A and B are shown apart, each in its own frame.
Chain A
Amino acid sequence: MNEDGDSRGGLQARLRRVPIRRRIFYTLILYTLAVAVMVVAGWQVSLLTRDYRQDSAALREQTRKATAMRHAINTLGVLGDSFLRSGDTSQIAQFNVMAGEVERTLDPFIGRTETLDLEPSRLHLSFEGYLQAFGKVTALSMSAHELYTGYLSSSEDLMQQRLLRLAEQPDLPPGIHENLLQARFEFAKARTAILAFMNSREGLGAVQAVAALRRVGECLQLAVLLDERSGFSEDFRGAQRALRGMMMETARIKTLVDRRTQTANGFLSLYRIGMNRSADHLVEMVSAREGALQDSLKRDMNITLAITGAGVLLLLLVGLAAGGLIARSIRDPLLRLNALMREVSEGNWERDIAADDGQDEIAEMTRTLAGFKRNALTLREMEVEKQVMLIREKEETEQALHSLDQAHHEIQILNDRLNEENLRLGTELDVSRRLQRMLLPRPEELAEVAPLDIAAFMEPATEVGGDYYDVLADGDGVCIGIGDVTGHGLESGVVMLLAQSAVRTLVTAEEHDLPRLLDVLNRAMYQNIRRLGCEKNLSFALLDYRPRGAGEEDLPAGVAGRLHIVGQHESVLILRCSGTIEELDTLELGLPLGLVDRIGAYTGVAAADLFPGDLVVLYSDGITEAADANGLLFGVARLKEELLRHAPAEVSAIKDAVIAAVRAHIGDAPVYDDMTLLVIRQR
C-alpha cells in the first residue's frame, strides 16, 4: 500500500513536470485512441459477421441442394418400383421427368472432387446404371406384353370355344359332362390367373395359370378316357392340343417375365441401392462439411471477437488509469493550493506555504501565492508603520491644532477689531457716497437753464472717487464747473465738498474776474487741504456762459452765446453744426488746485462763441482713460468718433450712447476711476 502510494507519488511528481495543458492534451489523445480502436474493432467484427453469414448461407444452400437431390433420387426409386409392380406404361413419362430432375440436382456436385471426393461421380454412375437397367426392364415388359396379347387372342378363343362346344353336347355320357364343366371352370380360373399374372407380372399368377391349365388338361384327359366310345374324341384331342400349346406359350411368357424380374431384382435394385447409398453418403458429407465449416467459422469469429474485445478493454483500462492519474496529478495539488489560499484569505498569515517542486501552472500559482503572502506581509508591516506614524502625526496635529486654536483666538480678537474698522470704513464710504450724490445738481435745475440743453452723467468707481461737476445759474448766464480730486475716499469727498462750496460762494458773490476767482479758489483749497493734513489736489475748470445780450453788437452775427473758460482740466470739446470738432486745451488755463499756494502766474482764460445747435462736451479722465482688459485706453479720439456719430441726437441720447460705448470698451475689466460726462447744446 505504502509502496503503491510511493510509486504513485513518484509518477505524480514526474507528471507534475509536464504543464497541465499538455497533460490534458495527452488524456485527450488517449481517449481518442481508445475510441479509434473501438471503432476499428467494431468495423472488423461487422465485416467478419458479414463474411460468416455469407459463408454459412452458402454452406446451408449446398446442404439444401444435396437434400433436394436425395429426395429426387428417392422419388425416382419409388416411381421405378411402382412402375415395375404395375407395368403401367403411363408412369414412364413421370419417371423420365423425375430422372431429369435428378440429373439437374446432381449437376452442381459433379466435378467437385476437391471437397466431395469421388462420391458424386459414383452416384452419377449408379444413377446412369439404374436408368439403363430400368430401360432394359421396360423393354422386356413391352415384348412380354406383346407376346401375351398375341397368345391370348390366338389360343384362348379357340380353347374357349372348343370347351364350350364340348360341354354343350346334349348326348354326352355321364361323367364326361361333369369333367368338361370342371375343365371349363378350371380354364376360367387359369384365364383369371393369367390375366392376374399379366397385370401383376408376378410369377405366382403364371404358376397358378399353368396349374389351372394342367387341371384343365386332366379334366380333358378324363373326358377323353371316358369318351372312348363316343364320337367326340377328336374334339377332345384338338382341345388337348390347344391346351398344350397354351401351356407352352404360358411357360415361354413366364420365362420372359422371370428374366425381366430377374433383371429388375438384380441390376436395377443393385444400381438403386448404390445410388441411394451414394446419395446418402453425399448428403452426409455435405452436411458434415457444413457443420465443420460452421463450427470453424464460429470459432474464428469468437476468437477474433475475444481478441478485439480484450484489446479494447485493455486500452480503455489503460486510458482510464492514465486519465485518472493525470486528473489526480491536477486535482491533488489544486486542492492543496485551494486550502492554502483559503487559509491565507482567512487571514492566517502564519501558515507556511511550502515550496511546490512541480514545474506546472499550479506550482507557479503556489509560488505566486507565496509572493502575494510576502507582499501582503510587507504591506502589513508598512501598514503598522503607517499606523504608528499616523498616531504620531495625530499627536503632532493635535498639538499644532492646540497652538492653532490659540492663534485663532488671537486672530479672532484681531478680526473683531478689524470688523470694527471695516464698519467704520463702510460708514465712511456710505457718508462719502451720499455727500457726492447730494451735491450734484438736480435734473430740474439743469432744465431751468433756458439757453442750454444739458445732460449730465456721473458714476463713481467701486469706491467713492473725486469727480465733481456743478451747474450754477448766474443772472442771465450760467457757470459750469467740473473737477477731479486726486484719490478716493472720504477725504477726496470732503475736498470736493469744499471746492463746490467755495465755487458756489464765489459765483454767488458775482466774481466775474475769472483768473481772480480761480486764484481765490486755489488759495482757499490750498489752505483747507493743508488743514486737512492730506496731500490732495484737484484739477478744476470753470465755464462761464453768457447768452447774447441786447447790448452786445460786437459779437459776430449768428452767435447765440459766449463761453469763457478758466482752470486746468481735460480738454473742452466743441462740436459745430458743420460737423467739425474744436478741442480747447485747458493746460495753459491753470494748474491743479491745492498744489501751490498761488497760481496767478499759471492762469489763463479762453473764450469760444457758440452758435445754435453747437455742442459743448466736458468729461473727466475716467472716460478717456477707461481701460479694457488689455490696458488699451478709450482715448479722446474714440470719444470724438462717438460724439460725431451721435451728434444729431438729443443731448441725453448722446450722453447715453457715449457711456454705452465706454462700458462696452471696458467689458469685464475693472473700472478704475469715476466717470463724468456733460453734454451741453446751445439752443
Chain B
Amino acid sequence: MTEFSGENYAARCDVGAHLVTLSGTLRLNGIAEYAPIVALLANAAEDATAMTLDLSALEFLNSSGIAVLSKFVIEARNRGDLALTIIGSGAIPWQGKSLQNLRRLMPSLVVEFR
C-alpha cells in the first residue's frame, strides 16, 4: 500500500488489488511535478494483468494531468496485456470529455461512471 497526498489531493495505490485511487483537486505544475503519480501508476501496472483506476472523487485535473493520464493509457494500450478499468463520476465536468478521449486512445479501456 503506497499513499501520499499534497495540497488538496490524495493518491493511493493498493498493489495487491491493483487499484489506484486519485481524489481531490490536482493542479500540479507541468509534467515534472506529476512524476510521483506517474511512478505510482507505473508501479501499479507492473506485472499486472488487470488494473483499476478510481477517479470518481477527483474533482479537477488540469491539462498536464490529463496529458499524464493519456500517456499512461497509451502505454497500457501498447503493452496489450493489461485490462484497464477507469471509474469516473458523471457529475464532474472535466471527466466527460477526457475519459471519452482515453477510450478513443485505448478502445479496450473500460470506463465506468458512478
Cβ–Cβ contact B62 & A673, under 8 A? yes
CB neighbors of B among A518-541 (8 A): 534-537, 539
A635 and chain B: residue at smallest CB distance: B93
Q: Complex: how many Å from CA A537 to CA B64?
A: 9
B33's nearest neighbour on chain A, judged by CB, is A487
Asked whether any CB of chain A lies closer than 8 Å to the CB of B90, the reply is no
| A535 in complex: contacting residue of B25, B27, B60, B71, CB < 8 Å | B71
Interface string of A570-589 (1 = CB under 8 A from B): 00000000000000010100
Report the minimal beta-carbon distance from B63 to chain A, rounded to whole angstroms: 4
Per-position contact with B for A101-117: 1 when CB-CB < 8 Å, else 0?
00000000000000000
Q: Is the CB of A535 within 8 A of B31?
A: yes
Q: Which residues of A contact B59 (CB under 8 A)?
A: 631
When the two chains form their complex, are residues A595 and B70 in contact, meaning their CB atoms are under 8 A apart?
Answer: yes
Closest partner residue, chain A, to B77 (CB atom): A596
B13-52 vs A, Cβ < 8 Å mask (1 yes, 0 no): 0000000000001010111000000000000000000000
Kindly report which residue of chain A lies nearest to residue B68, judged by CB atoms.
Answer: A535
Q: Is the CB of A591 within 8 A of B67?
A: no
Quick one: given A587-B100, A625-B60, are A486 and B66 in contact (CB under 8 Å)? yes
Contact A539 B63, beta carbon cutoff 8 Å = yes
Nearest-neighbour CB distance to chain B for A29, whole angstroms, equals 85
Q: How far is the CA of A536 from the CA of B71 in the complex (A)?
A: 10
Most chain A Cβ neighbours within 10 Å, of B59, B74, B100, B104: B104
Closest A residue by C-beta to B70: A595
Establish whether residues B67 and A595, one from each chain, have CB atoms under 8 Å apart when the complex forms: yes
A80 at the interface (CB under 8 A from B): no
- Which B residues are CB-close (under 8 A) to A673? 62-63
Shortest beta-carbon distance from A640 to chain B in Å: 14
Residues of A near B105 (CB, < 8 A) are 591, 595-596
Task: Give bound CA distance, A484 to B62, whole Å.
Answer: 11
Q: What count of chain A residues pass the 8 Å CB interface test?
A: 30
In angstroms, how far is the closest chain A Cβ from the Cβ of B77? 10
Give per-residue flags for B86-114: 1 if the beta carbon is below 8 A from chain A beta carbons, else 0: 00000001100100110011000000000
Contact yes or no, B93 A486, CB < 8 A: no
Inter-chain CA distance A545–B93, complex, in Å, is 29
Q: Which residues of the other chain, A, contact B74 by a CB distance below 8 angstroms?
A: 595-596
A488 part of interface (Cβ distance < 8 Å)? yes
Q: When the two chains form their complex, are residues A633 and B104 in contact, meaning their CB atoms are under 8 A apart?
A: no
One of B31, B62, B100, B104 near A536 (C-beta < 8 A): B31
Q: Shortest Cβ distance from B79 into chain A, in angstroms?
A: 15
A537 contacts B70, C-beta separation under 8 Å: yes
Q: Are B70 and A489 in contact (CB under 8 A)?
A: no
Check B94–A625 contact: CB distance below 8 A: yes
Chain A residues closer than 8 Å to B27, beta-carbon distance: 672
Closest to A537 in B: B67
Please state if A534 and B63 are interface contacts (CB–CB under 8 Å). no
Q: Tell me whether B31 and A534 are in contact (CB under 8 A).
A: yes
A624–B66 Cα gap in the complex (Å)? Answer: 16
A602 within 8 A of B: yes
Instruction: Please give, as numbers and ranges, the residues of chain A lying within 8 Å of B70 by CB-CB distance.
Output: 537, 592, 595
Q: What is the distance, in angstroms, from B95's C-beta to the closest C-beta of chain A?
A: 12
Inter-chain contacts of A536 with B (CB < 8 A): 31, 67
A55 within 8 A of B: no
Contacting residue for B64 out of A487, A568, A595, A631, CB 8 A = A487
Q: Is A621's beta carbon under 8 Å from chain B?
A: yes
A535 touches B67 (CB 8 A): yes
Instruction: Kindly report which residue of chain A lies nearest to residue B8, judged by CB atoms.
Output: A631
Task: Pick from A487, A585, A591, A621 the residue with the most CB of B within 10 Å.
Answer: A487
Q: Which of B30, B67, B93, B94 contacts A592 (CB 8 A)?
A: B67
Bound CA–CA A489/B33 (angstroms): 13
B101–A587 touching, CB < 8 Å: yes
Closest Cβ neighbor of B74 among chain A residues: A596
- Tell me the complex Cα distance, A567–B72, Å: 22
CB distance from B106 to the nearest CB of A (A): 11
Q: 1/0 per residue A477-515: CB within 8 Å of B? A: 000000011111100000000000000000000000000
Q: Is the CB of B63 within 8 A of A631?
A: no
Contacts of B71 in A (CB 8 A): 535, 595
- Give Cα distance in the complex from A13 to B94, angstroms: 98
Known A-B contacts A484-B63, A536-B67, A631-B25; A591 and B30 likewise in contact (beta carbons under 8 Å): no
Q: What's the nearest-Cβ distance from chain A to residue B34, in Å?
A: 9
Whole-angstrom distance between the alpha carbons of A585 and B94 in the complex?
Answer: 14
B104: chain A residues at CB < 8 Å are: 591, 602
**Alpha-carbon distance A627/B59, docked complex (angstroms):** 12
0/1 string, A442-477, CB within 8 A of B gives 1: 000000000000000000000000100000000000
A488 touches B29 (CB 8 A): yes
Cβ-closest chain A residue relative to B104: A602
Residues of A within 8 A of B93 (CB): 624-625, 633, 635-636
Is A672 touching B62 in the complex (CB atoms < 8 A)? yes
Q: How far is the CA of A536 from the CA of B97 in the complex (A)?
A: 19
How far, in whole Å, are A411 and B31 apart by their CA atoms in the complex?
Answer: 29
Complex-state Cα separation, A214 to B71, whole angstroms: 213
Expressed in whole angstroms, the Cα–Cα distance for A487 and B25 within the complex equals 16
Query: B94 near A487 (CB under 8 angstroms)?
Result: no
Give bound CA distance, A504 to B12, whole Å.
Answer: 45
Structural contact, B30 and A489, CB atoms closer than 8 A: yes
Identity of the chain A residue whose Cβ is nearest the Cβ of B34 in the assembled complex: A535
Enumerate the 6 nearest inter-chain pairs by beta-carbon distance, A residue then B residue, closest first: A486-B63, A487-B30, A535-B31, A486-B67, A486-B64, A487-B64
Residues of chain B at the chain A interface (Cβ within 8 Å): 25, 27, 29-31, 59-60, 62-64, 66-68, 70-71, 74, 93-94, 97, 100-101, 104-105
On A, residues with C-beta under 8 Å from B are 466, 484-489, 534-537, 539, 568, 585, 587, 591-592, 595-596, 602, 621, 624-625, 627, 631, 633, 635-636, 672-673
Q: Pull 12 A–B residue pairs with CB atoms less than 8 Å apart, ordered by A.
A: A487-B29, A487-B63, A489-B30, A535-B67, A587-B100, A587-B101, A591-B101, A591-B104, A595-B70, A624-B93, A672-B62, A673-B63
Apart from the given pairs A487-B30, A591-B105, A621-B63, 19 other A-B contacts in the complex at a CB distance below 8 Å = A486-B62, A486-B64, A486-B67, A487-B29, A487-B31, A489-B30, A536-B67, A537-B67, A587-B97, A591-B104, A592-B67, A592-B70, A595-B67, A595-B74, A596-B74, A625-B93, A672-B27, A672-B62, A673-B63
